[in-house]
Structure 1
Amino acid sequence: MLPNRVNTEAVKKSIGEYADTVSYEERGKIYEELIGFLPPRIEARLSVTGALDPRMVDLQEQMRTHGMYPKSFDVKTAQLMLFGMLLMDASDAAVLHAIAARRAGATWQEMQDTVNLCFLFRGLSAANRGAEIMANIAARELQEQAKSNGAAKE
């Protein structure tokens, strides 16, 4: 469902050390809170651009924060909207925003309603992809529950 991790050691050796004034861990924490992990492409951007142009990372993150958390919408609504927009565009980033929407409290019905809206204008490909994303998230959530139940028993 998700691509492989970035080899950050190779980035450090070949491109350089992360040099942003905000720590790599702090930058990653925002994504971990929203999605539950640091997505590989974002990991790559932080590692590479953070080494070569740390000011750009700062500007990107400021713009992302401003756009991602509008005052008009709660996080769940914004993430549902992003899921739908990205699903319409057939972007693989739709998965990340679907996960974020669930973590922010979106119900399966709200997710399906978002997919249904996409279907009206994008067709069966959006409906199929949206259902696939939701099915994979359901499996992922069950796997995480099983892990935390196993950890709680120990």
Structure 2
Amino acid sequence: MDIRTGELSNPHVIKLLQAHHNDMLKHSPVESVHALDVTKLNQPDITFYSLWVDNKLAGVGALKALNTTHGEVKSMRTSSNYLRQGIAAKLFTHIIKQSTLRGYKKLSLETGTVEAFLPAQKLYTCFGFKECEPFGDYELDPYSLFMSKAL
């Protein structure tokens, strides 16, 4: 297992991010989809991570700096070939560790509310995240569940 920083120009990463965005559009209206494309992930306030197993892309995730003490988890996605193998948990653990190393006091995320998002919600809950009010630029939305954890 290898967690890499960057790799946004890798065709496997681009393909997984595209699949992620397309899947979000199946479950939420376009105005409620907050998944970021490659261009938006390639910003100075975002660190993008990809997890590789035997040089095969297994998952992706990103950490966005909201301010000096608050981070946001973005674009968590496991490749379909690696579902239910602990990839998301390993990547999420890495993102939480990086948040702590940065000195963040709080880590937040937005996920969907429909049944397709239940595995993600369960993962986040297992890591101690709790439902919260919208943060940053988010607004209340029936398709969005906001979660945070004090670090």
What is the TM-score with the length of structure 2 in the denominator?
0.31
Higher strand share: 2
Larger radius of gyration: 1
Higher helix share: 1
What is the TM-score with the length of structure 1 in the denominator?
0.31
